[in-house]
Amino acid sequence: MKRYLKNFSLAIPFLFVGIAALVACDFTQESFNIHQALSNLMNDLHLGLIPLVLLGCTRAIYVANEETKSIFTVRSMDWSDPNISTSLWASPRGSERTSAGESDEGYPHTWKSQYKSLVVCNYNKSATDGINEEGLVANLLFLPQANYTHDENSQEKPRLTITALAQYVLDNYATVKAVVEGLKQQPFFLVTSKLAVAKLNPKTNEFEVYFKPIGLHLSVSDSQGDSAVFQYVEEYVDGKKTGKSELVVYYVPEEEEDKNKETITVLTNNLYTKQLELLNKFKKDNGDFDWGNKNEVFRWDELKKYNLEREEVKEMNPPMNGADIRFLRASFYSNRLDKIDKNIKNKRPFIDETQRDPENLEGSHSTWVEDWSKHEGLARAVSLIRNMSTPLNVQAIDDNPFLASTVWRTVADHGNNRYFFELNRALYPLYVDLEELFADLETVKKLDLYVPPVKEGEKGIDLLEDQLNKGEKIGKVNHLFEDVKDNKWFYFDYQRSDTETSGSLH
């Protein structure tokens, strides 16, 4: 391809013009496809100049020990808004829920929680991530191709706003299998709204407000290591768009799983069928991952693998940190992370050099092995999701809107019933002992971590300031949860002024 670079020299400026035009538009399926095409073309040209389609959020599962069910669900939240409010909310059983707001269209879905849960709430409206008392984890991640089209006049089904989907799952199901069976019934229409975000205008050097459509998809996992992905996308029949939304479920029942070869464990921000096609390029006929073998050569400086028999070239880690790139990276690392079992190679080796003899080095020491710390799996899980992160306030190139910083990370420790949270704008991670929290949870409780002021002149809550100046919100934080006034849960959508339930919960 390089030999054609001269012929493409005149086309390169038009790539930049196209990118600039897309920056000014809302993020749609078409713009996503164009960005992907531009990214692939520039990779082929070996230009490596512009990071395209750098979207947010990665979720992965690490099974440290299958026998002891030492299982971790890890997740990062990448977002372009540096003032995304973040709180932890705990809910008892029997909590009344209403999915209402701008998007309910007059038929809000209502339900009552059957399980206690702990969730990460963003913008005081979205249960973005969380876990319930049965060990079921739900994660909402950004999906540009999300589609929630339905008959707005239909009274057939109530409406559930997308920001409530994870909460609905945690409230009603105990296992991944139950979630799959329940959501396949499609008991509601999903609806969405737009999010107000402040963005710096480089021409005026002033912040301006624009509105971003909320498009998300869902992943779930449980304490048995089961996992599924749910995507609401535009329906196609005979290759043609129908203008309707379709639920697509990716799930491999346990009886059909081939251990260590399942692929419903990693999720980022693209259509899952396309990401599985990408992953299948690295699989052999028997399902084993083929990250490298004797017929292939991997050169670190080129970030490629060369198959000497088939004369193939595979991109191992294309430039920057896009959705498909993170999907491959997370798949690679989660698959390659050692299990922590009784196998001798997975124990810690030590060397005794107390009898070291400079004249007989090889014969003057002995070795022994010990078990890893019982928290070694946690350390590896945390390191896995940190590896998927993007630095805070990284400068985009040519005002590219898709370079989003990692604002927080979570690690759900299914085996030890702990939920770890790490805000990138803080120095220390914190965690909640779930068994202790849920044991006597009878009222709604919350813990504010980062809450920007609602009005000018007011003071917000800053986790970094609390940690540095007060020495608070570090490590275990069970004792810092506070009761919520009137035992109310947050709204899942913006409230219209004409609704009886409008107003702030704070």
DSSP one-letter string for 82-142: TT--EEEEEE-TT-EEEE-STT-TT-BEEEE-SS-EEEEEETTTEEEEEEETTS-EEEEEE
Tell whether the torsion through CA atoms of 49, 52, 57 and 61 is positive or negative.
negative
pLDDT of residue 185: 96
DSSP one-letter string for 390-435: --TTPPPSTT-TT--EEEEEEEEETTTTEEEEEETTSSS-EEEEHH
pTM comes to 0.83
- Percentage of residues in the chain having pLDDT higher than 90: 50
Taking the domains of the chain in order of start, what are their residue ranges? 1-50, 55-286+371-487
Report, as an integer, the average pLDDT of 378-388.
96
Q: By the 8 A CB rule, do 325 and 317 touch?
A: yes
Q: How far apart are the first and last CA of the chain?
A: 59
Q: Which residue has the higher pLDDT, 261 or 410?
A: 410
Question: Which value, in Å, is the radius of gyration of the alpha carbons in the chain?
Answer: 24
pLDDT digits (tens, 9 = 90+) for 420-447: 999 999 999 999 999 999 999 999 999 9
Q: Is 255 helix (H, G, I), strand (E, B) or coil?
A: helix
Q: Which amino acid is at 319?
A: P
Burial class (CB in 10 A: 0-12, 13-18, 19+), 246: middle
Q: By the 8 A CB rule, do 303 and 258 touch?
A: no
Q: Which residues contact 126 (CB under 8 A, 6 or more apart)?
A: 140, 163, 164, 492
Q: By the 8 A CB rule, do 323 and 55 touch?
A: yes
- Bridge partners of residue 256, in order along the sequence: none
pLDDT digits (tens, 9 = 90+) for 306-320: 777 767 776 655 556
pLDDT of residue 242: 84
Architecture field, domain 55-286+371-487: 4-Layer Sandwich (3.60)
For 463, how many CA atoms within 13 A lie in the half-sphere containing its CB? 28
State the chain's mean pLDDT as an integer: 82
φ/ψ region of 314 (left if φ > 0, alpha if ψ in -120 to 50, else beta) reads beta
Q: Is 164 helix (H, G, I), strand (E, B) or coil?
A: helix
pLDDT digits (tens, 9 = 90+) for 266-312: 999 999 999 999 888 888 777 788 776 655 665 555 556 677 776 77
